Amino acid sequence: MSAALKTIRFAIGAFIGLLVLAAIALLVFLDANAFKPRFEAAVSEIFGMEVKVGGRLGVGLFPGLRVTLEDVHIRNRGTEVATAREARIGIDFLSLLHRRVQVEAIALEHPRVFIERDRDGRFNFEQSATARGTLPDLNLAKISLSGGTFRYVDKQSGRGFEAGDCSLDVSRLQLTDRNRPGIMKNLSFTAEAACGAIRTRDYAASGLRFSVSGQRGVFDFKPVTMRVFDGQGSGSIRASFTGAVPLYHVRYSLSPFRIEAFLKHLAPQKIAEGPMDFSANLSMQGKTVNELRQTAQGQISLRGKHLILNGRDLDRAFARYESSQNFNLVDVAALLLAGPAGLAVTKGYNFASNFQGSEGRSEIRTLVSDWIVERGVAQAQDVAMATKQNRVALKGRLDFVNERFDNVTVALIDTRGCVRAKQTLQGAFKKPVVENPGVITSLSGPVVKLFRQVESLFPGGACEVFYAGSVASPM
């Protein structure tokens, strides 16, 4: 080895050694907490939010230059966005020689993140226009958190969720061109996330896991898996923020799940029980919940076999219905509407209460509920169910934009798919109106029986087919 090369290597080694000795001296003789205000100011500038450290600030050297913060609070526009019991920030040592702080990695212990969307559609973490122009770019190799809690509230819709026992590992996070409006358009990263429990106002789920990768405003979440209603769900989400309006494409399937778990919040006892399959393929765009609802389009499907309905013998009720009219066909639509309508139809019309009783039980041999969604309106495509002796079918539309039933008709049908009896459902989800039965149900009991006998002798008689879908006649 030449003398020059030895000299250069010695010089580099000596320089690094001096840096290490200087850093150790700083740790020994200086109080790191005295620099807390300056550090808070530097980090606040990087993130564009107010960062405060309530506890102590410590500095370590191994495995790299690391700053440890206790009791960290992040605020934006006067609102607390996040807290952490402890934060460890890795800093590029050489950047300090140029009198700047370059953050390389961030690790958070027991963070709590509060995301809120106000009535104007703005998130609490978004920066003001004046602050946005002064912020530098971000380039972080790694961000991680453990034992986290996330809470989201949407003041526009009144909905939200809370997720606990969450972990997150983010790699290669880059945020560039921050002078341009729209933080999502300039964001790139890959991540793995998991949460032990998720709870909304009405439902609970567990075991959420997903991977996400995004670049320049397009993010793919796949696979997204979680356990809900005692079933395992899986799907994917593509979110694009490249245009003026965000665009989302959601694919999701839950197969199988238990209908008793889905209906549990409606009544303490088991209204129905059995396995069902749910799937959805939807596209939507918008900045608000209303805009997303108005632009939703795609398909929704709910299917089941060998379901048990407790508290009501439907076949016996249908037999009485033709003579006494003492049964509301629309009540049966609870199961048919459960897929696309979900909570929407149960806001005001408590379908579940109509099945609470002691009049036996029913077996739903087959249930199919397939819908096409266009501009926020679900159109029934193939919606029917079969008991041991009867079939019930449904036609019409569910208008989620205006939250109304649009000419929904529920019919008891014969072997040919023709109407034996029917009722219609109109009006708002919160206060629907059930209209009178069709003409056939106005016949007296003996006349109905005679009509059935004549019909059996001439099965080829003309009728208007109400249903010609996939649910076969049980008879």
Q: Is residue 70 part of a domain?
A: no
In this structure, the number of other CB atoms found within 10 A of the CB of residue 25 comes to 10
Q: Which residues fall within 8 angstroms of residue 65, CB to CB, at 6 or more apart?
A: 23, 59, 90, 91, 92, 93, 96
CA distance 45 to 41: 6
Q: How much is the pLDDT for 143? A: 85
CA distance 392 to 409: 10
Q: Is 147 exposed, middle or buried (0-12, 13-18, 19+ CB in 10 A)?
A: middle
CA distance 366 to 355: 18
In this structure, the number of other CB atoms found within 10 A of the CB of residue 76 comes to 19
CA distance 329 to 380: 17
Give the 3-state secondary structure percentages of the chain, helix then strand then coil, rounded to 5: 25, 50, 30
- What SS3 class is residue 326? coil
**Read out DSSP for 376-387?**
TEEEEEEEEEE-
Q: Which residues pair with 162 in a beta bridge?
A: 151, 199
Q: What is the CA radius of gyration of the chain?
A: 31
**Is the C-alpha dihedral spanning 16, 19, 25, 27 positive or negative?**
negative
Q: Is residue 356 part of a domain?
A: yes
In this structure, the number of other CB atoms found within 10 A of the CB of residue 445 comes to 12
CB 148 within 8 A of CB 194: no
| Sole residue written with tokens 């769900």 | 233
Q: How much is the pLDDT for 254? A: 92
CB 145 within 8 A of CB 111: yes
Q: How much is the pLDDT for 338? A: 64
Residue 9 phi, psi dihedral angles, 5° rounding = -65, -40
Q: Is residue 238 part of a domain?
A: no
CA distance 215 to 29: 45
Q: How much is the pLDDT for 7? A: 43
Q: Is residue 101 part of a domain?
A: no
Range of the domain at 350: 250-475
Q: Which of 103, 123, 253 is nearest to 184 (CA)?
A: 123
Q: How much is the pLDDT for 421? A: 85
Q: How many domains in the chain? A: 1
Residue 24 phi, psi dihedral angles, 5° rounding = -65, -40
Q: Is residue 347 part of a domain?
A: yes
| Sole residue written with tokens 């008689």 | 461
Q: Is residue 162 part of a domain?
A: no
**CA geometry: angle 7, 12, 13, nearest 5 deg:** 95
Q: How much is the pLDDT for 103? A: 72
Q: Does the bond joining 223 to the residue before it have cis omega, within 30 degrees of 0? A: yes
Identity of residue 201: R
Q: Which of 428, 424, 371, 370 is nearest to 399 (CA)?
A: 428
Residues in the chain: 475
CA distance 127 to 182: 10
Give all strands (DSSP E) within 286-418, no chain letters: 297-310, 361-374, 377-386, 391-399, 404-413
CA distance 239 to 219: 5
User: pTM to 2 decimals?
Assistant: 0.76
Identity of residue 440: I
Q: Is residue 19 part of a domain?
A: no
Q: Which of 339, 351, 366 is nearest to 267 (CA)?
A: 351
CA distance 341 to 333: 11
**Read out DSSP for 101-161?**
--EEEEEEEEEEEEEEE-TTS-BTTPPPHHHHTTPPPEEEEEEEEEEEEEEEEETTTTEEE
Residue 42 phi, psi dihedral angles, 5° rounding = -65, -45
CB 150 within 8 A of CB 166: yes
CA distance 464 to 241: 49
Q: How much is the pLDDT for 368? A: 94
The tens-digit pLDDT sequence of the chain (475 residues) is 554 444 444 444 444 444 444 444 444 444 566 677 877 787 677 667 888 888 887 777 767 677 788 898 888 887 888 888 988 877 776 666 666 666 778 888 998 988 888 887 777 777 655 454 444 566 777 888 899 998 988 887 778 889 999 998 988 877 776 555 566 777 788 999 999 999 988 788 999 999 999 888 899 998 999 999 999 999 999 999 888 899 999 999 998 999 888 877 766 677 788 999 999 999 999 988 788 989 999 999 999 999 988 877 888 878 776 554 556 677 777 667 666 555 455 444 555 555 555 567 888 999 999 999 999 999 999 999 999 999 999 999 989 888 888 888 988 899 999 998 888 888 888 777 877 655 443 333 443 443 444 344 445 556 789 999 999 998 7
Q: Is residue 20 part of a domain?
A: no
Residue 323 phi, psi dihedral angles, 5° rounding = -105, -35
